Amino acid sequence: MRHDLYPTRRRANSTYQARRDPVVWSTAAPPGFVSSEEIETFDRDGVLVLDNLFTDQEIERAVAELDRLRDQADRLEPETVVREPHSDAIRSIFRVHRQSRIFAEMARNPRVRQLVEHILDDEVYVMQSRVNVKPAFDGACFDWHSDFETWHAEDGMPRMRAVSLSVFLSENSYLNGPTMFVPRSHRTFVACPGETPDDNYKTSLRRQEIGVPGNEAISELAEKGGLIAPSGRPGTAVLFDCNLLHASAMNMTPWPRSNVFFVFNAVCNELERPFDGGKPRPEFLAERVPGGGRRYKAA
């Protein structure tokens, strides 16, 4: 019987436990384009804002590619296009690195790979990619959550050895529903209440209700670490730990907000059976190690 380091979704209330994994796995010197101080900041806070990963030309191509994907959404894999909960507006497009050469090239960017492989001290692969689009006036919220809690429970990620990179494809300001983070919350695993319904992803992608910590847990961790909402021009990149609590409010402004996300998982952290006991979510949400040895098949 395998040992579950981070049990969750088994009680009526949120519970806490200290993180049992490193944040920065490598002890070697970081790549030359980031400083040791920046790596220390990421280790301490679980989040790092970077402005030098992509050129203006790369971002211009990515913005144009997002427009193309939205205009041709009917040609994409149907399940990868998620709509807003109260309208037909596009909320997210998943698996963009498999459906777009431009976004595949962004995920393979040498600086990105060097940085995430340094932090995780292993080869990496893209476990998930998506574009989140906050339409003007109608962009709904994303509730507080730790990605790892969902990936552990519903996808079988065993350890906290993954990071996400969010790249701004439009101006992100404090007004138009930016992503908010609780710095230093990545050091605490918050086990969430409730059991996972069958095929939970079919509703949670539009509005997440399972895998959401209680208000008391959010308040307590925010008292210790504060709240930040990184802002900036297109091309700004935010690297954040898989267990960092984050959320975003509704966009009620006339200005849409778009970001592309790449989730990098260490190859050694291959997904197993979901720890909540259910069947694994589809691979457009959680890819297994390409060509990997262990592959879980639902009974």
pLDDT in tens, 91-120: 899 999 999 999 999 999 999 999 999 999
Q: What are phi and psi of 295, to 5 degrees?
A: -135, 120
Strand residues in the chain grouped as ranges (E): 15-18, 47-50, 81-83, 90-94, 124-134, 142-145, 162-168, 179-181, 188-191, 237-241, 246-248, 257-266
CB of 104 closer than 8 Å to CB of 262: no
Given this model, what pLDDT does residue 200 score?
A: 86
Given this model, what pLDDT does residue 199 score?
A: 82
Is pLDDT of 77 > 60?
A: yes
Distance CA 43, CA 35 (A): 13
Distance CA 270, CA 123 (A): 12
DSSP class of 172: B
Given this model, what pLDDT does residue 295 score?
A: 40
Distance CA 33, CA 48 (A): 13
State what percent of residues in the chain have pLDDT above 70.
96
Q: How many CA atoms within 13 Å lie on the side-chain side of 43?
A: 16
Distance CA 65, CA 260 (A): 11
Given this model, what pLDDT does residue 296 score?
A: 37
Is pLDDT of 249 > 70?
A: yes
Given this model, what pLDDT does residue 193 score?
A: 86
- The gap from C-alpha 206 to its chain's centroid, in whole angstroms, comes to 15
Given this model, what pLDDT does residue 1 score?
A: 66
Given this model, what pLDDT does residue 212 score?
A: 85
Given this model, what pLDDT does residue 292 score?
A: 53
Helix, strand or coil, per DSSP, at residue 165? strand
pTM for this model (two decimals): 0.94
CB of 268 closer than 8 Å to CB of 82: no
> Once rounded to an integer, what is the mean pLDDT over residues 168-180?
93
User: Could you state, in order of their start, the residue ranges of all structural domains in the chain?
Assistant: 15-24+36-269
Is pLDDT of 46 > 60?
A: yes
Alpha-helical (H) ranges within the chain are 36-45, 56-71, 96-99, 101-107, 110-120, 147-150, 201-204, 215-225
Confidence of residue 297 (pLDDT cuts 50, 70, 90): very low
> Once rounded to an integer, what is the mean pLDDT over residues 60-85?
93
CATH of 15-24+36-269, one of 2.60.120.620, 1.10.645.10, 3.10.20.740, 2.50.20.10: 2.60.120.620
Is pLDDT of 187 > 90?
A: yes
CA nearest to 247, candidates 271, 213, 275, 293 = 213
Over the chain, what is the mean pLDDT? 91
DSSP class of 155: I
Distance CA 166, CA 258 (A): 10
> Once rounded to an integer, what is the mean pLDDT over residues 83-92?
84
Is pLDDT of 64 > 70?
A: yes
State which amino acid sits at residue 222.
A
User: For residues 177 and 229, which has the higher predicted lDDT (pLDDT)?
Assistant: 229
Given this model, what pLDDT does residue 97 score?
A: 97
Is pLDDT of 298 > 50?
A: no
CB of 46 closer than 8 Å to CB of 168: no
Q: Which range among 11-25, 29-43, 133-147, 244-258 shows the weakest confidence by mean pLDDT?
A: 133-147
